[in-house]
Structure 1
Amino acid sequence: MIGALDYLEKEKGIKKEVVIEALEQALETAYKQNYGEKNVEVEFNSLTGNIKVYAVKTITDDDDAVAEDSNEYMSLADARKLPHGQGYDVGDEIREEVTPRNFGRIAAQTAKQVVMQRLREEERKIIYDKYKTYENEIITGEVSREDRRFTYVDLGNGVEGAMGFRDKMPNEHYHVHDRIQVYVSKVNDDRRGPQIYVSRTAPELLKRLFEREVPEIKDGTVLIENIAREAGDRAKVAVYSNDPNVDPVGTCVGPRGSRVQAIVNELDGENMDIVEYVKDPAKFIANALNPADVLDVIFNEPEPQDEAVEEPAEATADDVTPAGDDDENSVEPTATTPAPKEAERSCTVVVPDNQLSLAIGKRGQNARLAARLTKYKIDIKSESEMEELQSQKDTGDIDKGLADETDSQSSTDAE
């Protein structure tokens, strides 16, 4: 037993005192179950390995209490008959050794169970502490197995991360022994042991990949404002730099697109639009709708409401998409109306007739990602649509004016 304690302390880092305390508690429980004593204490000698059990009794002068429960009470007269018992008084506690002859067998079984339990707990703690430091980081693993709920990724030494259905790239199909990079989204510790959850679709995965591929992001020269991603298909990333001499988009794309291409390859061909974030919301919205040109951004005024407007949900940052160079013929967008407050953010964007489909994107994807990236609800209209709406509005205003004038004249005639 002493050798086992020394091994645990030296090889596993489990302090001897911790195991001894747990062992004594387990032996007390085992003794009570086998011998019925209520108040006992177990002492383990860490030098010799000897185990002794002591019954702990309270000294009393109440004979009825002793008669009712002799396991808990001892009479004052009996206590003073013990060696060195003349100093005892009512209320004192006395320890009387009651170690059974065959207690060694029970102790050995209990000790084995306690040591194994402490070993399992410590190993669980080591795993939890290790992978808790990897939380919110990228780690490489090997696909080990799948069931109906999860794909399991071996992270090393038999430790598995669980990747749920929503965390798997829809265009990826995994096979056992495939090596993949995953984002450690959460590490929990419960009665089953450490639970490690990993993802291939989390926005943070894309952010970490950019930090790895673009040193300027890692050192803070270029910053990521937001990411909107439809994992496995397309992503938009808004970046900026506080250094006027740094081109944030070009820095992320890299020479001949090498930096962003490395990320695209890692994400199995996911398209990347990298756009510049600017504080002017009209310009930012125009950038976000890349590759379409934007003629105008009209911020919608909110209708009066009795109750506070709920803030729109924040866009998720999942993936990044490299964009091409700006079109030299693109028109600088202008904001027709001031930008609304954050709780009311919606706008109408006007684009050239021949770029309406491009601005909206396949199945509305370009507009959808731009809205998530900018946190604006975006309504896209072609230039001719907008002119027609404006014409209808102007005609309506004229008709209303004529109607008002007619009503006024009729009223005068009646008078």
Structure 2
Amino acid sequence: MREDEVRFDRAFQEIAESRMLQADVVREALCEALVSAYRKDTNASKAQRIEAEIDPKRGRPTIYVEKEVVDEIVSPHTEVTLEDARFFEPEAQVGDVIMVRVEKTTKNFGRIAAQAAKQVILQRIRQAERENLFQEYDQKTGEIVTATVQSVTPAAITLSLNSRAEAVMPRAQQIPGEKFRPGDKVRVLVSDVKKSSRSPQIVVSRAHRNMLKRLLEYEVPEIYNGQVEIKNIAREAGGRSKVAVVALMDNIDPVGACVGIKGNRIQNIVKELHGEKIDVIEWSSDHEEFIKKALNPAQARAVFLDDDPDSGRTAVVLVPDDHLSQAIGREGQNARLAAKLTHWRIDIKAVSEAVAQALEQIDAGNADLDPVVQRLGATVADVRRIMEKKAANLTVQPEEYSTLARFAEAVETHLLGLRIQSRQARLAEINALRATLPQPAFQIPVEKLDLPEPLLDALAPLENVGEILLRFLIDEKRINRLLSGQPEGSVEMLQVALDKVMDPEALEQLAAAETEAAEMVEAQEAEASAAPVEAAPEAPVAAPVPSPIVAFPDEIPAGDRRRVRKEARAEAEPVLEIEEDDDVLPAKGKKGKKGKKKHRQIYFDEDRGEMVVRRQHRGGPGATWDDDFE
């Protein structure tokens, strides 16, 4: 290899390595620069085809120009004689247009042509660098990276990701109360990457819920290895977060795995997030049980699930008076996070408040409560006596408070049954419309739609594509309510995304993929549970019959079936079967508000009966609580 060839090869490799570019990209930039320089040097027309090649071994450039074959040359830059043409194309004829190699070398280019070549090379290399940066960080979207603070302004923080890339953390994506100085190292989540005329616009966040998800994956090996799954996260950055987790293998405590010994794992995350409180909750397919756990640290007495086809899913929760403030939380934070985590609208009532409302309705002559009064005649008198005693600030015994709680549960259960009965005609109409929709659409989760994450979060209560289509048919106003806080044009974006998914071929493929994934999960769970069943010598305990709660039941609603069973059991057993209760005497609490509503929501399992302390194992609905963390 000659000395000039060695110099070219070294220079070529140096450019590629220093700019972190592929050799082909640099070679294409050089070829484009040669073409530009030749056009400048010869004033060639843009319509004239010009190509350049570089020998990868020797580094020698070659330029080819499109010329017309003629008998006599008038313009040397666009014409070539037949004799010269046949050197390149043996079968060339006069009038043909062929590519001819230019004999002059780049050493003959003038200053202007050389300057043009330099500009083209720099432009192409910068463009390739921008594209590489975009591809690199676009692949890191949703991942945590370490950055260095460059500058801090009231609107945003500018960070350096490396020597070639910068990122911006807007104020809305910062944890309230955190302070940074230039030079500080900080871990951030890459939330968005967009192309721009200059370098890529990289937006990072510390307030995004996926920041918490990634930190849990780093700190908890069981999550990283797939033994524990994060089902959903509700987060208010800097204040409190709730994380729902479930074990995918037997003999694993999902909450204990996340918290760690003496809380060391979760404390590491709390420190990273500026002291943010984190509640780790075990996910349950039983909506009642899950909502109870989501309201921790408050203890819910009963949950009543009301799945209305028009107004949506509402859970009415009864809590002891002394737990009301805990259930609501500071400025409604606990109830708000529980609603986000469970995808149920939650109405929270104190027991004494629910009893007072029931007595008011009875005194007002509400005929709906006549059956309750007839069944619980003596109990109603006891309830009035206890409420008068409470109003006089006299001591209420725990057993008396239990009587109030059971009465409130009986009233809520009865009213829920009436609401379910009243909507039977509406449910029949909805089921008829449901049958007209493609059934595979009901197997496709909402997160499969090509929509921004805020829209997916807003649509999460509908759970699948089929339910969204059904809402458009029966109650488009609810779609508008769900998207009320989203940017303009969100409904149109949703319709476009639905059109893409509803392509028959795409619909079948997505539904088949979801079905296959569900079957694999069921098979794995069956294999995991097979060994303990075979090893157990005792007779197996009969599993409880599940009572699924669905948005649009195909038959009689589960809540109604439970009410029928409850009434049948009530006829065979004493109405007031008093059992030992663990409730303590409540302190005098104040009623709180959540938003504009006086109450909050969750659901009461009627399988226990309105007069019996619920201690039996409950079957849970089969609905999932997956949440796209993409």
One fold, TM greater than 0.5?
A: yes
Structure 1 SS opposite 2:304 = strand
1:307-347 alpha-carbon deviations (Å, 9 max, x no partner) = xx7xxxxxxxxxxxxxxxxxxxxxxxxxxxxxxxxxx2111
- In structure 2, the CA distance between the partners of 1:279 and 1:34, relative to structure 1 (3 Å rule), is same
Does 2:178 correspond to 1:140? no
Higher Cα Rg, which structure: 1
Q: Offset of 1:124 from its aligned partner? A: 3.2
Q: Equivalent of 1:157, from 143, 159, 163?
A: 163
Structure 2 SS opposite 1:257 = helix
The one-letter code of the counterpart of 2:44 is E
Q: Equivalent of 1:7, from 8, 14, 22?
A: 14
Q: Do the aligned residues in 2 keep the contact of 1:239 with 1:277 (CA within 8 Å)? A: yes
d(CA) in 2 for partners of 1:229, 1:246: 25
Q: Do the aligned residues in 1 keep the contact of 2:157 with 2:169 (CA within 8 Å)? A: yes
- In structure 2, the CA distance between the partners of 1:357 and 1:97, relative to structure 1 (3 Å rule), is closer
Q: Offset of 1:256 from its aligned partner? A: 1.4
d(CA) in 2 for partners of 1:230, 1:346: 22
The one-letter code of the counterpart of 1:92 is D
Q: Which residue of 1 aligns with 2:330?
A: 362
Does 2:252 correspond to 1:246? yes
Q: Offset of 1:388 from its aligned partner? A: 2.3
d(CA) in 2 for partners of 1:116, 1:16: 15
Q: Offset of 1:59 from its aligned partner? A: 4.0
Structure 2 SS opposite 1:191 = coil
Q: Which residue of 2 aligns with 1:279?
A: 285
Q: Equivalent of 1:256, from 251, 262, 265?
A: 262
Structure 1 SS opposite 2:308 = coil
TM-score relative to the length of structure 1: 0.73
Q: Which has the higher helix share?
A: 2
Q: Equivalent of 1:41, from 36, 40, 50?
A: 50
Q: Which residue of 2 aligns with 1:409?
A: none
Q: Do the aligned residues in 2 keep the contact of 1:239 with 1:248 (CA within 8 Å)? A: yes
Does 2:271 correspond to 1:265? yes
Does 2:381 correspond to 1:388? no
| Superposition CA RMSD, Å | 3.5
d(CA) in 1 for partners of 2:142, 2:30: 38
Does 2:346 correspond to 1:350? no
Q: Offset of 1:134 from its aligned partner? A: 2.8
Q: Equivalent of 1:57, from 58, 63, 67?
A: 67
Q: Offset of 1:366 from its aligned partner? A: 0.7
Does 2:241 correspond to 1:235? yes
Q: Output aligned runs, 1:322-361, within 5 Å.
A: 344-361=312-329
Q: Equivalent of 1:115, from 121, 135, 138?
A: 121
Q: Offset of 1:129 from its aligned partner? A: 4.0
Q: Equivalent of 1:397, from 359, 363, 366?
A: 366
Q: Which residue of 1 aligns with 2:395?
A: none
Q: Which runs of 5+ in 1 are unaligned?
A: 310-343, 402-415
The one-letter code of the counterpart of 1:7 is E
Q: Equivalent of 2:341, from 373, 388, 393?
A: 373
Q: Do the aligned residues in 2 keep the contact of 1:294 with 1:351 (CA within 8 Å)? A: yes
- In structure 2, the CA distance between the partners of 1:111 and 1:383, relative to structure 1 (3 Å rule), is same
Q: Output aligned runs, 1:58-137, within 5 Å.
A: 58-59=68-69, 79=82, 88-93=92-97, 95=100, 103-137=109-143
- In structure 2, the CA distance between the partners of 1:360 and 1:59, relative to structure 1 (3 Å rule), is same
Structure 2 SS opposite 1:205 = helix
Q: Percent identity?
A: 39
Q: Do the aligned residues in 1 keep the contact of 2:300 with 2:318 (CA within 8 Å)? A: yes
- In structure 2, the CA distance between the partners of 1:386 and 1:119, relative to structure 1 (3 Å rule), is same
- In structure 2, the CA distance between the partners of 1:378 and 1:261, relative to structure 1 (3 Å rule), is same
The one-letter code of the counterpart of 2:366 is D
Q: Do the aligned residues in 1 keep the contact of 2:68 with 2:79 (CA within 8 Å)? A: yes
d(CA) in 2 for partners of 1:189, 1:83: 48
Q: Offset of 1:260 from its aligned partner? A: 1.0
Q: Which residue of 1 aligns with 2:515?
A: none
Q: Offset of 1:252 from its aligned partner? A: 1.5
Q: Do the aligned residues in 2 keep the contact of 1:163 with 1:199 (CA within 8 Å)? A: yes
d(CA) in 2 for partners of 1:258, 1:178: 25
Q: Equivalent of 1:207, from 191, 213, 229?
A: 213
- In structure 2, the CA distance between the partners of 1:18 and 1:255, relative to structure 1 (3 Å rule), is closer
Structure 2 SS opposite 1:293 = coil
- In structure 2, the CA distance between the partners of 1:79 and 1:147, relative to structure 1 (3 Å rule), is farther
Structure 2 SS opposite 1:170 = coil
1:276-331 alpha-carbon deviations (Å, 9 max, x no partner) = 2111111111111111111111122526x5xxx7xxxxxxxxxxxxxxxxxxxxxx
Of the structure 1 ranges 156-165 and 105-114, higher mean CA displacement relative to structure 2 is found in 105-114
Q: Offset of 1:20 from its aligned partner? A: 4.7
Structure 1 SS opposite 2:189 = strand
1:4-32 alpha-carbon deviations (Å, 9 max, x no partner) = 33533566565666545444444444444
The one-letter code of the counterpart of 1:362 is R
The one-letter code of the counterpart of 1:184 is V
d(CA) in 2 for partners of 1:241, 1:353: 34
Q: Which has the higher strand share?
A: 1
